[in-house]
Structure 1
Amino acid sequence: MGFWQRLHRGWGHVHVVTQEPSHMRITSVLVTLVLALGAAGCADEAGTPEGAATGTTGPTETTSESPSPTEGPGGAGQTIEITVAGDTVSPSGERVEVPLGEEVVLEVTADAPGELHVHSTPEQELAYEAGTTSFPLTFDQPGVVEVESHDLGLTIVQLEVR
């Protein structure tokens, strides 16, 4: 019996129109599935797990303008150079492989103060001043970690933690 047949069956009485129990189960399963997928999509737009970051004790101010792009001082780990000049940021969304469990240094050279957002577990906000600032990070979970400037609306670099 269809929806309208149940609704119009006998004008003298009010009838409660309900769905069949099997339809209700299917509907509730579909709603649950859509909500679960939506929540998973909000957690990480790229669909990959985020790396866990540890060992961030705060920025380190340096005066060096040209560190090595792959190794930090004394081979301490990988260094990723980030340059912010006005509305121009380098790198610009590139994906860089970083080692799981080893220190990675984000070295920011900027013409004005700003803030980086590191979308790891837990998420981090790294404030920097004009000049050069270093941020040592260690990631304990494999996945892709996006480093962004929310002020400029840009993804600066994607760290592929392996």
Structure 2
Amino acid sequence: MRRALAVLTLLACSSTLVACGDADTPQTGSSEQETKTIDITIEGDSVTPNGDRVEVGVGQPIELVVKADASGEIHVHSSPEKEFAYDAGTTTLPLTIDKPGIVEVESHALDKTIVQLEVS
């Protein structure tokens, strides 16, 4: 009887330790991608960046952080196309591109390409 109780106790402790060990194991190859932040400054007729190419992953979360002296719109030439309005001050615009390729982010009012997203 003692032997059976000792075996059961040992098994219970082993199961608990194995379960705890799995929680501490770091995950590798996670499907979650880190958010790519792109800072955009619009002052008068000037925009920064101005046509720079930025690499992002398919489905990677993107934040366009727009600091502007006046309200306006940004056009994203993806499929489907997207339009984002921003206010004077700082506006954060979330974006995700689901297809590989080059996606232009533009200000039509300024007739300027702000950034080209190289999605792969």
Q: Does the alignment reach a TM-score above 0.5?
A: yes
> Which residue number in structure 1 is paired with residue 40 of structure 2?
82
The amino acid of 1:127's aligned partner reads: A
Tell whether 2:86 aligns with 1:132.
no
In 2, Cα distance between the equivalents of 1:98 and 1:135?
Answer: 16
With normalisation by structure 2, the TM-score equals 0.71
In 2, Cα distance between the equivalents of 1:101 and 1:115?
Answer: 23
> Which residue number in structure 2 is paired with residue 108 of structure 1?
66
Between the two proteins, the alignment pairs up a number of residues equal to 88
Matched residues, percent identical?
61
Q: Which sections of structure 1, spanning at least 5 residues, go unmatched?
A: 1-74
> Which residue number in structure 1 is paired with residue 81 of structure 2?
123
Shift of 1:76: 4.9
In 1, Cα distance between the equivalents of 2:97 and 2:76?
Answer: 11
Shift of 1:147: 0.4
In 2, Cα distance between the equivalents of 1:127 and 1:102?
Answer: 21
> Which residue number in structure 2 is paired with residue 149 of structure 1?
107
> Which residue number in structure 2 is paired with residue 4 of structure 1?
none
The amino acid of 2:59's aligned partner reads: G
The amino acid of 1:149's aligned partner reads: S
Residue in structure 1 matching 2:54, options 96, 100, 103: 96
Q: Which sections of structure 2, spanning at least 5 residues, go unmatched?
A: 1-32
- Secondary structure, in 3 states, of the residue corresponding to 2:70? coil
- Secondary structure, in 3 states, of the residue corresponding to 2:42? strand
With normalisation by structure 1, the TM-score equals 0.53
In 2, Cα distance between the equivalents of 1:151 and 1:142?
Answer: 27
In 1, Cα distance between the equivalents of 2:43 and 2:85?
Answer: 16
Of Structure 1 and Structure 2, the greater strand share is in 2
In 2, Cα distance between the equivalents of 1:133 and 1:76?
Answer: 20
